[in-house]
Chains A and B, each alone.
Chain A
Amino acid sequence: MRIQRNGGTQPHPQTEKPDLQALRLAVSDKKNREGGLIPLLQLVQNEYGYLPEEAFGIISEATGLPIADIYGVATFYAQFRLQPVGKNIIRVCHGTACHVQNANALSEALHEELAIEDGQTSADGLFTLEHVACLGCCSLAPVMMVGENTHSKLSAKSALKIIREIKNQASQDQTNA
């Protein structure tokens, strides 16, 4: 199931404009430009978590490629995001093995809990929910990744428990601060 990222225009909680200095610096390095367009976009996304609109103009100027071409590449590949993301990216695996072990139940529970659809970010900016094709941990199905951590053999209940723990931790941190 491909992540639906580009059509979504829901208002995003983070409205701050990104600092573009790092981006200008990155594209000014000739070595980065020689690696080709895709590695360059990957570099930008690693820095910002998504591809800011302004990035297209800057990359176009540096590489001489039309913005349309760059946008074409950015929207072709599932990896690239055009919207900022929440603090934690939840990737629910929908590979074949996870599908036959009822990964849909996880997704439905998460939709309800976070009140968002795939590709969207929760109102508190804590979570971005994504469906991915396969995380390659098929023997541990169903699986989801939260940030860098992979959780295995989940049920709707255990998946929600993980999410709620992160929520509680976040609100505790807020009160402490």
Chain B
Amino acid sequence: MIMKTPSQIKIVVGLGSCGIAAGAAKTYERLEEIQKIGLYDFDLEKTSCIGMCYKEPLVEVNDGKNWTIYGDITADKADDLLSALFTGKSAHTIEAIASKDKAGTEEAFLQGQVRIALRNCGHINPESLDEAEAHGAYAAIRKIAANNLTSEVVIQTIIDSGLRGRGGGGFPTGLKWLFAAQSDETEKYIICNADEGDPGAFMDRSLLEGDPHSVLEGMLIGGYAIGASSGIIYCRAEYPLAIKRLKIAIGQAKAKGYLGQNVFGLQGFDFDISIKEGAGAFVCGEETALIASIEGRRGMPRKRPPFPAVSGLWQKPTNINNVETWANVPWIVSNGAAAYAAYGTEKSKGTKVFALTGKVNHGGLIEVPMGVSIRDIVFKMGGGIQNGHQFKAVQLGGPSGGCIPAHLADTPVDYDSLMATGAIMGSGGMVVMDETTCMIDLAKFFLRFTQDESCGKCTFCRVGTKRMLEILERITDGKGVPEDIDKLEKLALQIKENSLCGLGQTAPNPVLTTLKYFRQEYEDHIYHKKCTAKACKPLLRYRILASECTGCTICAVKCPVDAISGERKHPHVINQVICTHCGECYSICRYGAVVVE
């Protein structure tokens, strides 16, 4: 169904990093060309991540009353889209995936979501301050100025809202502010942690690319509340688009006087924001390591106390919050603590943004109220598992988190319920896995990551993770011994207890949770030398089914170690002694005669 629209329409292209990777920039260029020719009359605008990453490039068509989102609009389909819109005819089918007035199959992706942190993402041009303000940016700080709200009132509002740190720690944000505010020092700092290092997470990137002003305003409010005059955004250098849009936003805010001296007429409140580009170290997500990195040193954590609220950057009181936390702040101040606390569960208020990825049909960026079940996220918003496979587990919290198995899919998403399973809320990476994912391989993947990223300060983290990794490598190579499981558990406990920072304390989590819920898989690998997910190559056995083999010889020709023999037009056999389990014959056979066991 294509709507006919003779009236002035607005076409908005989603230009976030993923959109651009899928070809959205070329779509935009093509639409611009057509617009220049003057064949059709329409307004063309940019926005950032609309959220439905699985259908990128996304284009929204808005006629002032209704909006419709079209998916998979690559540059070659731009012409089709326009002719469909204006003439009702097009060479190819154009797929409308969501709209205001029609229920589509993908509508479910948006249903159940509550967009607070992402309120403007995908709706505004992130490079336009006017558009941001039309959508409520800087209304919260104006409210503070107009009503002469004191810093105590602002902090109490944040405490009452129940907002907890969205970077994964879950510490109450208002309390953190209170500690920093209590210091008598005149020089204090506000830091925005945008060093989103978890593999499989892109919430902060999307937020910064989509609505940078919400983060700036959050920091302004935080600065006012604790009495800081300087804000720093520590952003990954791997996010060039986020950095570019932040720079534009800071420039705009400065030009309008939203940053600088006596901002918004608040006498004596001066605030400025600068950007520091991280140089690539996962451990810099930890507060004290991040501070060391801004100071120009190796990003190694130090002992706490003193906490950064007492002695942080340049030994001054410092308050660090994550991007998503900052983006929530203006909404809470504008709408009141009660409105925010109305969402969520008793101990986890508000909403949480997740990057839903992996073997799920509809991967993308979602924001849900706390307390929603994992099942709803995976099957309703995520549209179930790809290719009709079985749902096996979700991984939450990246390398610090754990796996939640399918039988616990009704676990509500809140800090405490997730903690009880052994996983953590984390920063919001949610990777869905099916039966083709080997849980030991996954644990090995995360451990290799933390082992690489360990800064090396604590012996247990530096050496312990390496030893654990060696054991996991042994198991997936088919050389595991019965004592390995005990050794893993013992090491995991020691590393947790004897590491200084969160990286080491949580590094064993992926192993511990997979051991807890998928012990059978470990035992299969060790005792039966079998990988049920068929992912660990050394444990696989390739065999040719005589009944299916046509004797085409292609596998024998392709085998790199000449392990396959047989006469033309007669069934072939694999010599298991020579076979290196490379899988070449399996992928090349056109008759399905090669099977994996």
Task: Indicate whether A88 reaches chain B with its CB closer than 8 angstroms.
Answer: no
Chain B residues within an 8 Å CB radius of A99: 199, 442, 445
Chain A min CB distance to B48 (Å): 13
Report A122-150 residues with CB < 8 Å from chain B CB. Answer: 132-141, 143, 150
Q: For B21, give its contact among A73, A76, A95, A151 (CB under 8 Å).
A: A151
* Bound complex: CA A96 to CA B237 (Å): 20
> By the criterion CB–CB under 8 Å, are B18 and A96 in contact?
no
Q: How extensive is the interface on chain A, given as a class?
A: 35 or more
Q: For B298, give its contact among A72, A133, A150, A151 (CB under 8 Å).
A: A72
> By the criterion CB–CB under 8 Å, are A136 and B433 in contact?
no
Task: Indicate whether B358 reaches chain A with its CB closer than 8 angstroms.
Answer: yes
> By the criterion CB–CB under 8 Å, are A36 and B296 in contact?
yes
Look across to chain A and name the residue whose beta carbon is closest to the beta carbon of B455: A76
> By the criterion CB–CB under 8 Å, are A96 and B199 in contact?
yes
Chain A residues within an 8 Å CB radius of B295: 36
Chain A min CB distance to B365 (Å): 8
> By the criterion CB–CB under 8 Å, are A97 and B299 in contact?
no
Chain B min CB distance to A45 (Å): 9
> By the criterion CB–CB under 8 Å, are B445 and A96 in contact?
yes
Look across to chain B and name the residue whose beta carbon is closest to the beta carbon of A70: B296
Look across to chain B and name the residue whose beta carbon is closest to the beta carbon of A138: B357
> By the criterion CB–CB under 8 Å, are B296 and A150 in contact?
no
Chain B min CB distance to A8 (Å): 15
> By the criterion CB–CB under 8 Å, are A96 and B238 in contact?
no
* Bound complex: CA A44 to CA B20 (Å): 28
> By the criterion CB–CB under 8 Å, are A134 and B21 in contact?
no
Task: Indicate whether B297 reaches chain A with its CB closer than 8 angstroms.
Answer: yes
Look across to chain A and name the residue whose beta carbon is closest to the beta carbon of B364: A139
Q: For B431, give its contact among A76, A79, A100, A151 (CB under 8 Å).
A: A100
> By the criterion CB–CB under 8 Å, are A152 and B21 in contact?
yes
> By the criterion CB–CB under 8 Å, are A94 and B293 in contact?
no
Look across to chain B and name the residue whose beta carbon is closest to the beta carbon of A145: B21
Chain B residues within an 8 Å CB radius of A139: 18, 53-54, 56, 356-357, 363-364
Chain A CB within 10 Å, residue with most, of B197, B198, B398, B449: B449
Look across to chain B and name the residue whose beta carbon is closest to the beta carbon of A3: B280
* Bound complex: CA A104 to CA B190 (Å): 40
* Bound complex: CA A34 to CA B53 (Å): 41
Given contacts A77-B280, A100-B358, A42 and B452 within 8 Å (CB-CB): no
> By the criterion CB–CB under 8 Å, are B237 and A138 in contact?
no
Task: Indicate whether A161 reaches chain B with its CB closer than 8 angstroms.
Answer: no
> By the criterion CB–CB under 8 Å, are B299 and A133 in contact?
no
* Bound complex: CA A41 to CA B196 (Å): 21
> By the criterion CB–CB under 8 Å, are B202 and A136 in contact?
yes
Chain A min CB distance to B383 (Å): 12
Look across to chain A and name the residue whose beta carbon is closest to the beta carbon of B365: A139
Chain B residues within an 8 Å CB radius of A37: 296-297
Look across to chain A and name the residue whose beta carbon is closest to the beta carbon of B205: A136
Task: Indicate whether B475 reaches chain A with its CB closer than 8 angstroms.
Answer: no
> By the criterion CB–CB under 8 Å, are A136 and B452 in contact?
no
Task: Indicate whether A39 reaches chain B with its CB closer than 8 angstroms.
Answer: yes
* Bound complex: CA A139 to CA B354 (Å): 12
Task: Indicate whether A1 reaches chain B with its CB closer than 8 angstroms.
Answer: yes
Task: Indicate whether B395 reaches chain A with its CB closer than 8 angstroms.
Answer: yes
Q: For A100, give its contact among B202, B359, B449, B455 (CB under 8 Å).
A: B359
> By the criterion CB–CB under 8 Å, are A134 and B200 in contact?
yes
* Residues 6-22 of chain A, each 1 if its beta carbon lies under 8 Å from chain B, else 0: 00000000000000000
* Residues 189-226 of chain B, each 1 if its beta carbon lies under 8 Å from chain A, else 0: 00000001111111001000000000000000000000
> By the criterion CB–CB under 8 Å, are B279 and A134 in contact?
no
Look across to chain B and name the residue whose beta carbon is closest to the beta carbon of A139: B53
> By the criterion CB–CB under 8 Å, are A94 and B21 in contact?
no
> By the criterion CB–CB under 8 Å, are A100 and B442 in contact?
yes
Chain B residues within an 8 Å CB radius of A77: 278-281, 299
Task: Indicate whether B78 reaches chain A with its CB closer than 8 angstroms.
Answer: no
> By the criterion CB–CB under 8 Å, are A140 and B53 in contact?
yes
Task: Indicate whether A78 reaches chain B with its CB closer than 8 angstroms.
Answer: yes
Look across to chain A and name the residue whose beta carbon is closest to the beta carbon of B200: A96
* Bound complex: CA A96 to CA B202 (Å): 12
* Bound complex: CA A141 to CA B202 (Å): 13
Chain B CB within 10 Å, residue with most, of A2, A94, A133, A139: A139
Chain B CB within 10 Å, residue with most, of A36, A76, A78, A132: A76
Given contacts A38-B296, A76-B298, A99-B445, A134 and B358 within 8 Å (CB-CB): no
> By the criterion CB–CB under 8 Å, are A1 and B280 in contact?
no
> By the criterion CB–CB under 8 Å, are A97 and B277 in contact?
no
* Bound complex: CA A166 to CA B18 (Å): 23
The 3 A-B pairs with the shortest beta carbon distances in the complex, nearest first, are: A139-B53, A96-B200, A78-B280
- Identify the A interface with B (CB < 8 A): 1-2, 36-39, 41-42, 72-73, 76-80, 94-97, 99-101, 132-141, 143, 150-152
- Identify the B interface with A (CB < 8 A): 17-18, 20-22, 53-54, 56, 196-202, 205, 237-239, 276-282, 293-299, 355-359, 363-364, 395, 398, 429, 431, 433, 437, 442, 445-446, 448-449, 452-453, 455
| Further contacts, 11 of them, CB under 8 A, given A76-B298, A96-B431, A97-B358 | A2-B449, A38-B293, A42-B237, A79-B237, A97-B199, A97-B431, A135-B17, A136-B18, A136-B202, A137-B53, A139-B18
A-B residue pairs in contact (CB < 8 Å), sample of 19 = A1-B452, A2-B452, A37-B297, A38-B293, A39-B276, A42-B279, A94-B199, A95-B200, A99-B445, A100-B431, A100-B433, A100-B437, A134-B201, A134-B238, A136-B202, A136-B205, A137-B18, A138-B357, A139-B357
